[in-house]
Amino acid sequence: MMGRIACSDESGLKKGPWTPEEDRILVDYIQKNGHGSWRALPKLAGLNRCGKSCRLRWTNYLRPDIKRGKFSEDEEQLIINLHAALGNKWSAIAGHLPGRTDNEIKNFWNTHLKKKLLQMGLDPVTHRPRLDHLNLLSNLQQLLAATNIVSNFTNTWDINALRLQSDATQIAKLQLLQNILQVLGGSPTSNLELLNPFGPSSSLPHGFLNEVLGLNQSKLQNLYNGCSTSFPSQNQPNFQSFEAPQPYHHMNGASNSSCMKSEKVDEQLDAPNSSSTPFSSLPNLVSVSPECPTVKQMENNGNPNESSDPSSPSTTFEMWGDFMYEDVSDAYWKDLIE
């Protein structure tokens, strides 16, 4: 744009951190006169700053309605959900969090939430599973397949060769399991002493592991026991993180669903403290409403469509993908925000 004079080009104007005295002058002036033209404000108020700097200081720090301090879990969840729908539209996201500034939310996202999603194995840009993790799973599955192929050629091998092959299979399975647990548990580890999926309160997605590994839980337990490794129970993976945001209208189809409807969503967004909202805690992104069964519930109770619908997802990963990452989910959030 022609003729624009950058703030930084205006000679003699102060930059950098604001002093308490400057803050006082700015607050006093705005309280008495309003900010009016930001460009004119510094001269009128007697500040040696550019208008832009004043505006920034006021909107991000000095404004009286700014909420300071840590983000609550509800706010955190809300930001994640809004970001999934809106992307890096920080001001739009901030519009749903009273007292929070876009800058604050942006910083919080970049320093905390992005990492959190990465640890959950999700791409912070797309909110979908990270491709590198999926490739890892794919590679390991190929490794498993390879060991099965090898077994077809070992009919005449002696017992030691068979043991070797069996060990290789077990190692491959353990590697696969370990990577799954890392993805799910968000605890990057480099060896097998990482997570105990078999604690008394474990919510291990049995069906998924069964299908991927071809093992049941007792076999897995034996597998782990046989490795002489310890699994401190306090390090159990949080498999809640495996659950997905629920595209209610997708799962329930018709609008007669008693699940959250879009016209109610603004209330939900504006009242994130409501315990019935899907934002109650991270990473539990699904409704707890009985009318809206979660992926886990469906898995535990058995998918009613499973026997009759041949196109129904055959693995938890597929279910996860279907429920969490359909484009309709993004559209749903966009709808409810707009």
Binding site for DNA (CB under 7 A): 1-8, 14-18, 36-40, 51-53, 55-57, 60-61, 88-92, 102-104, 106-108, 110-112
Smallest CA-to-CA distance from 335 within 227, 231, 260, 226 is with 260
Rounded distance between C-alpha atoms, residue 158 and residue 155, angstroms: 8
Q: Between 106 and 250, whose beta carbon lies closer to DNA?
A: 106
Cβ at position 97, least distance to DNA in Å: 13
Backbone angle region of 237, left / alpha / beta, with phi > 0 → left and psi within -120 to 50 → alpha: beta
Q: Between 100 and 296, whose beta carbon lies closer to DNA?
A: 100
Cβ at position 112, least distance to DNA in Å: 6
Cβ at position 334, least distance to DNA in Å: 14
Q: Between 22 and 243, whose beta carbon lies closer to DNA?
A: 22
Backbone φ and ψ of 129, nearest 5°: -55, 140
Cβ at position 77, least distance to DNA in Å: 17
Rounded distance between C-alpha atoms, residue 269 and residue 305, angstroms: 32
- How far is C-alpha 9 from the chain's CA centre? 41
Cβ at position 4, least distance to DNA in Å: 5
Angle at CA of residue 234, ends 230 and 238, nearest 5°: 110
Rounded distance between C-alpha atoms, residue 263 and residue 284, angstroms: 22
Q: Between 92 and 223, whose beta carbon lies closer to DNA?
A: 92
Q: Between 4 and 32, whose beta carbon lies closer to DNA?
A: 4
Q: Between 53 and 147, whose beta carbon lies closer to DNA?
A: 53
Rounded distance between C-alpha atoms, residue 68 and residue 91, angstroms: 17
Return the percent helix, strand and coil in the chain, to nearest 5.
55, 0, 45
Cβ at position 283, least distance to DNA in Å: 18
**CA distance to 16, 40, 60, 112, per residue, from 107 (Å):** 18, 29, 12, 8
